[in-house]
Structure 1
Amino acid sequence: MQKLLTIVLAAFTISASAQSQKAEYFKLTRAGFNEKNAYATTAFVEQFFRLPGNKGFDESIYKVEETLKKAGYVKQKQNEFEAPLTYRIEKRPMKRDAWEPVDANISIVGESTPLQSFKTNRNMIPIYCPSTPEGGVTAEVVYVNKATKEDLQDKDLKGKIVFGDISTQRLIGLAAKAGAVGAIGFSLPAYNQPTKHTTSIQFSGMQPNAGIWALFLSYASKERLKAACEKGKVELKVNITTKSYAAEELTIVANVKGTLKPNERFVYSAHVQEPGANDNASGVGTLTEMARLTAQLVKGGKLKPQRTLTFLWGDEITSTRRYIVEDSIRAKGILWGMSLDMVGEDTEKTGGTFLLEKMPDPSAIWTRGNDKHSEWGAGDVKEKDLFPHYFNDFVFDICKEQGKHANWTVNFNPFEGGSDHTPFLQNKIPGLLMWHFTDVFYHTDNDRLDKVSATTMKNVGISALTVAYTLISADENTASATVAQVKEDALARLKTEFDLSKAAIASGKSAKDEKHIIEVWGKWYIDALATIGKMAVDPKTTRVGSTIKVATLAIEKQTQDYINAL
């Protein structure tokens, strides 16, 4: 009895200590994160059409630098640990010239109102589109339906503009070969709801040196031009101005030095390129405020990170992958990665909800029950691709706690890929994505500042910082409490999967297959528990190992009980 009481008291003490640590970090981040700062940075960045090397991209990087300097980060001279707070701007030559749009207009000759203008549709110019000749182009429009060779072979396109109710990219090659001067088309996925949001255009690109210019139309513009073509001959006046120039690609990296294990680190990444406000000016703004607050807490002695915290802003996936692979020694010390992408959504306007995209777990293979993929689409995940780790549940539970505190809706989705979390995972580093979907304005020129919520950015920033602060200074109590948390989450998941499998078998599904699903989930969580052993910065006893063994036995038993019951 005395031994049992001792174990219970020890577990209570561990849990209370870990909860106290997390509560203190929540207190610091909730009080210190200034959403007005995050919103102001977002507003600055979103005014530009940002691509690596162009003016808007560089101005955004220098805006981050300005904030870092004011916060107390010093420019790195020799190495990133020469001061507690350092930053550097990395400059690299680009293989192709930087590109930026300047202006564009389309008018139907004889009509007073322009068909479409860059001032209201900044995504209408394909990336790498050339300028029209000075003064613009006036030419007849030829309307096509399918843009096949057969569809175009009987049409005289030389010196004309090809227009289709199909994607512009499908038109460009055929139009250029036929001697057309330009190509314009329309294409939007259903989740953008083009018949409702009729002025939206998704940004996209074209091959450099395609030989012609091209433009994208909104649904409203496409319908108007289509109606005009059905009445008879139509001429368009088109004027496009773009710039291309030699430039360097910039990446900015800031570091908060760990006091005990500086070479072990938590890395955040927010990409600068893409022209939207939520995607991804909001990620840049949120991460910049997170870096500012971290510096404030460190300088004030309220945060004493034992591992390093790294903030990175650059070109999506490219900068993050390069950060990982270009220095193999540094890469070994990256213990966690987190991508902030589309984190500022005003969901009442954009739809969807905040999502935590999980590392590959069995829900990415067997997506059922409350699990569901976003309209981005599922990735091709096999059992060999599963990535068991405590990071999934650890981060999601902190997000849920902030959600409960702030009445903020928090959900998750199985792994899909496509943002800055993927380079971490590809290099066997735990990596998660904080984002929102479905967003009806995703990648469109209606993704503007009025769709951004400062409150959402604060909730994301608080959650992301609390996760990192807890992990970069984790002790044995943190690790033991995480074992208990992951065990609880595992047993809940196994019960859910058992109920789903039981119903599936009753409806005629293979019992063998359903048992396999339970087995894979059990193994995933057992392997995830094992990763907690390295969480503590300076473990002094074997207590964490013992708690992992006990939790593992409980999950193994429950897994087998469920398999036997099917």
Structure 2
Amino acid sequence: MTMRILFIFFFIFSVAGVSAQADPTLRKYYEQVRLLFKEQEAFKTVSYVEQRWRLPGNKGFDESIYYVENLLKKAGYINEAAAKSGDRLTYRIEKRPMRRKTWEPVDAVVEIVGEKEPLLSFRTNRNMLAINSASTPSDGIEAELLYLPKTSADALATQQLEGKIIFSEQPVSQVDRAMAGKNVAGVMGYSVPAYTQPDKHPNSIQFSSIAQVDSSKKQGFGIVLSTSARNRLKELVSKGPVRLRVKIEAKSYQAEELTLVADIKGSEKAEERFVFSAHVQEPGANDNASGVGTLVEMASVAAQLYKSKTVLPQRSISFLWGDEISSTRRYIVEDSIRAKGIKWGMSLDMVGEDTQKTGGTFLIEKMPDPSAVWTRGDEKHTEWGGRPLPESAIVPHYFNDFMLSRCLDQAATNGWVVKTNPFEGGSDHTPFLNAKIPGLLLWHFTDVFYHTDADRIDKVSAWEMKNVGVSALAAAFTLTANNEKLVHYLIEEYKQSALKRLAIEAALSKTAIEKGGNKETEIHILEVWAKFYMDALGKMAEIPCTQMETLTLISDAQKVVDDKRKEIISLFK
């Protein structure tokens, strides 16, 4: 047994030191993109977009879309309606009537009657007003505050609710649902995740919403409380009756939803494509003005390289800006022929974090691999939330490790911190995965300002955006190039990733068994990881035009991985 343990450690050490020689084509992509990517231009876009409270159809959302459109025009993209057959840089704005009204906040203030300073003001807490809240009369309303620790039916049965502002320490949407049909003046809710560190940031408010009622009913309002506002109100109600004065100005109106799509048409396999998406809605700077700004600068760089004939993708590259998840889902499902050609999808969401200020780390959220089933070692779910998946959810593919390698290539030049997390979902990568298309999320977490009104431009790093943009665009160029020699490099690189992962998992299994873990379970985990990599290697045949040499290299790499699997498993028997 001692010799076997020593062998495992030797194996880990030897694999960890292996690295493939950098491919000259890939190296050239990085150099060219780094040179042209103007992070301050990306930052300017973020600055413009983050000033606007963005929901599909509202003024801020539309202004952001048209701002990006103008940048695309300057970069050389031509509106499809005016494009000629030979134009390969094009864009379009898709317009769809919305079934429900859009919403736009203008101003709001909550005052405690008898006090000079407002409890909350929209000017300093732009998330205080729940989405879909209606305006008050122009001079506001005054009403008694009723604090309810619970809003269950039993708790409400003994209360006089009519005409009062109801305050409960629950999400404002939950308070709003409990008060449906009860003719209250308005509702207030308080619900703050621990990762936002409310004791340290007592004035932060995460945006939230209340239900939008149909035209036959009166739309109410919801106020989302900060920790300091919650504490102040609880202090006052403990001493006696409290009256509040609330003044709200908000707009709700029928509108069209806009989606902006730009394309670089591939020179040979134009029907196949790499698709990037960055959602526009949400009011924050990092979430997701940073994705919007990074993606438009990537599109600009790609256009420059195309026009100079420096990089001519053989497959198409598409860039999409719209409403989170729904715009990406429609892009996939509305055109079945186009959907068949989507080979890779990537979401840019919260990619500009100043990690020193937000506490977030850059992450690649992976497609479901075995780490989503057995999350151990350095693999960790974020505080956003994740859960173990069944083995049946595993999707063998090279995209996870390929993108990690692309980001690590960039990190090697400047010390950028790159990590991954197991699949959790919740952004624009999920529609790709739901459609059986490889999809990844580039993001940051844990961000103490996530979804709060403190997510402003001062929390954004232009340097971080450039690292993400360079890595993502280099990845797209690599996979759309149809370059056989480059793919051979990628096969060797991926083989090394597989061997490294098997070494890591072998060490973890060894430790688990020493602590009393089931040997058969650990062997099964190792078998699943090995099969994942062998199957993923097989899928690399789709990257180039299939040639015998590539297939032979893939087969050879699979054999190396399988041989190592057998070697490791033998040590546990």
Q: TM-score range by the shorter chain?
A: over 0.9
Deviation at 1:286, TM superposition (A): 0.4
1:149-168 equivalences in 2 (<5 Å)? 149-168=153-172
Does the 8 A contact of 1:80 with 1:87 survive in 2? no
**RMSD (CA atoms):** 1.4
> Which residue in the other structure is 2:557 paired with?
551
Q: Which AA in structure 1 matches 2:472?
A: A
1:485 aligns with 2:493: yes
The one of 165, 172, 180 aligned to 2:176: 172
> Which residue in the other structure is 1:68 paired with?
72
1:201 aligns with 2:209: no
1:41-80 equivalences in 2 (<5 Å)? 41-77=45-81
The unaligned stretches of length 5 or more in structure 1 are: 1-14
1:412-431 equivalences in 2 (<5 Å)? 412-431=420-439
Distance (whole Å) between structure 2 residues aligned to residue 475 and residue 459 of structure 1: 24
> Which residue in the other structure is 1:276 paired with?
284
Does the 8 A contact of 1:99 with 1:128 survive in 2? yes
> Which residue in the other structure is 1:341 paired with?
349
> Which residue in the other structure is 2:129 paired with?
125
> Which residue in the other structure is 1:265 paired with?
273
Deviation at 1:381, TM superposition (A): 2.1
> Which residue in the other structure is 1:363 paired with?
371
1:70-149 equivalences in 2 (<5 Å)? 70-77=74-81, 82-149=86-153
Does the 8 A contact of 2:381 with 2:422 survive in 1? yes
Distance (whole Å) between structure 2 residues aligned to residue 409 and residue 28 of structure 1: 22
Q: Which AA in structure 1 matches 2:226?
A: S
Structure 2 counterpart SS, 1:56: helix
Identical positions, percent = 54
The one of 519, 522, 527 aligned to 2:530: 522
Structure 2 counterpart SS, 1:64: helix
Distance (whole Å) between structure 2 residues aligned to residue 404 and residue 515 of structure 1: 34
Q: Which AA in structure 2 matches 1:83?
A: D
Does the 8 A contact of 1:360 with 1:386 survive in 2? yes
Deviation at 1:324, TM superposition (A): 0.9
Structure 1 counterpart SS, 2:411: helix
Q: Which AA in structure 2 matches 1:483?
A: I
Distance (whole Å) between structure 1 residues aligned to residue 282 and residue 30 of structure 2: 32
Does the 8 A contact of 2:169 with 2:190 survive in 1? yes
> Which residue in the other structure is 1:330 paired with?
338
Q: Which AA in structure 2 matches 1:92?
A: R
Structure 2 counterpart SS, 1:309: strand
Distance (whole Å) between structure 1 residues aligned to residue 371 and residue 75 of structure 2: 41
Distance (whole Å) between structure 2 residues aligned to residue 373 and residue 529 of structure 1: 26
Does the 8 A contact of 1:73 with 1:86 survive in 2? yes
Distance (whole Å) between structure 2 residues aligned to residue 211 and residue 290 of structure 1: 42
> Which residue in the other structure is 2:241 paired with?
233
1:125-181: per-residue Cα shift (whole Å, max 9, x none)?
A: 111111123321101111111222232322222111111233222222333444321
1:442 aligns with 2:450: yes
- Answer with 342-351 or 420-429: which moved more: 420-429
- Answer with 170-179 or 500-509: which moved more: 170-179
- Answer with 478-487 or 85-94: which moved more: 478-487
The one of 30, 33, 40 aligned to 2:37: 33
Does the 8 A contact of 1:80 with 1:86 survive in 2? no
Distance (whole Å) between structure 1 residues aligned to residue 109 and residue 290 of structure 2: 29
> Which residue in the other structure is 1:386 paired with?
394
> Which residue in the other structure is 2:6 paired with?
none
Does the 8 A contact of 2:350 with 2:443 survive in 1? yes
Does the 8 A contact of 2:165 with 2:185 survive in 1? yes
* Counterparts in 2 of 1:173 and 1:423: CA distance versus 1, 3 Å: closer
Does the 8 A contact of 1:351 with 1:439 survive in 2? yes
Distance (whole Å) between structure 2 residues aligned to residue 35 and residue 532 of structure 1: 32
> Which residue in the other structure is 1:10 paired with?
none
Distance (whole Å) between structure 1 residues aligned to residue 83 and residue 75 of structure 2: 19
Q: Which AA in structure 1 matches 2:489?
A: A
Deviation at 1:556, TM superposition (A): 1.1
1:564 aligns with 2:570: yes
Deviation at 1:564, TM superposition (A): 2.3
Structure 1 counterpart SS, 2:179: helix
* Counterparts in 2 of 1:51 and 1:470: CA distance versus 1, 3 Å: same
Q: Which AA in structure 1 matches 2:526?
A: I
Structure 1 counterpart SS, 2:347: strand
Aligned residues: 549
Distance (whole Å) between structure 2 residues aligned to residue 39 and residue 76 of structure 1: 28
Q: Which AA in structure 2 matches 1:565?
A: L
Does the 8 A contact of 1:176 with 1:211 survive in 2? no
- Answer with 473-482 or 518-527: which moved more: 473-482
* Counterparts in 2 of 1:32 and 1:196: CA distance versus 1, 3 Å: same
Structure 2 counterpart SS, 1:236: strand
Distance (whole Å) between structure 1 residues aligned to residue 24 and residue 178 of structure 2: 65
Distance (whole Å) between structure 1 residues aligned to residue 442 and residue 550 of structure 2: 29
The one of 273, 298, 303 aligned to 2:311: 303
- Answer with 408-417 or 78-87: which moved more: 78-87
Q: Which AA in structure 2 matches 1:174?
A: A
The one of 223, 243, 254 aligned to 2:251: 243
Structure 1 counterpart SS, 2:362: strand
- Answer with 543-552 or 155-164: which moved more: 155-164
Distance (whole Å) between structure 2 residues aligned to residue 81 and residue 322 of structure 1: 25
Distance (whole Å) between structure 1 residues aligned to residue 85 and residue 47 of structure 2: 32
Structure 2 counterpart SS, 1:320: helix
Does the 8 A contact of 1:76 with 1:82 survive in 2? no
> Which residue in the other structure is 2:187 paired with?
183
Q: Which AA in structure 2 matches 1:314?
A: G
> Which residue in the other structure is 2:16 paired with?
none
Deviation at 1:481, TM superposition (A): 1.2
Distance (whole Å) between structure 1 residues aligned to residue 318 and residue 84 of structure 2: 10
* Counterparts in 2 of 1:564 and 1:79: CA distance versus 1, 3 Å: farther
Structure 2 counterpart SS, 1:406: coil
> Which residue in the other structure is 1:4 paired with?
none
Q: Which AA in structure 2 matches 1:66?
A: N
1:353 aligns with 2:361: yes
Distance (whole Å) between structure 2 residues aligned to residue 554 and residue 226 of structure 1: 66
Deviation at 1:470, TM superposition (A): 1.2
Deviation at 1:496, TM superposition (A): 1.0
- Answer with 469-478 or 80-89: which moved more: 80-89
> Which residue in the other structure is 1:460 paired with?
468
1:313-335: per-residue Cα shift (whole Å, max 9, x none)?
A: 00111111111111111111111
Q: Which AA in structure 1 matches 2:194?
A: A
Distance (whole Å) between structure 2 residues aligned to residue 168 and residue 204 of structure 1: 7
> Which residue in the other structure is 1:220 paired with?
228
